[in-house]
Amino acid sequence: MIRIAPVIPAMVLAGSLLTMPDCAQAQNDPVYSVQNGIVDQHTFNGYRRYGESCHRCHGPDGSGSSYAPSLVDSLKNLNYEQFAQVVINGRQNVTTSSNNVMPSFGLTPDVALYLDDIYGYLKARSDGKLERGRPKRADD
């Protein structure tokens, strides 16, 4: 499995420098592993982290809600770098009919430090390789 270097190499949290996890090789997207409905540890960790930090706005399994868009659909058009920019820096999308704000999670270690896992989980969902619900891990 190839892990990629996150877009933001370091961030400051409570006065100390937090470096992003070291990754082996740069590619456009982190790799997920789903075989016969069973996921690797990183993909499962992405599911867990998504549930803790993203679920309440983006809905179960990244499918969207009346409050925030479907990330499963969004990742059909966004690559990892674009996804990471929005999550780390936040985004405001104001139109005449809506005022959508994605807060910045750049200073939230449970998101920023595991961004590649979260993306891998959502990308597996977006690619149709992973069904809704709690995925099974190889060591379950």
Residue 84's domain comprises 10-137
Is pLDDT above 70 for 84? yes
27-57: pLDDT as tens digits: 455 678 888 888 989 999 999 999 999 989 9
Q: 27: domain CATH number? A: 1.10.760.10
The pLDDT score that the predictor gives to residue 38 is: 86
Report yes or no on 1 lying in a domain. Answer: no
Pairing of strands 10-13, 16-19: antiparallel
Mean pLDDT of the chain: 78
- Under the phi-then-psi rule, with left for phi > 0, alpha for psi from -120 to 50, and beta for the rest, what region is 131? beta
Report yes or no on 4 lying in a domain. Answer: no
Across 50-76, average pLDDT: 90
Across 80-105, average pLDDT: 82
- Return the ∠ at Cα 90 (arms to 84 and 96), rounded to 5°: 125
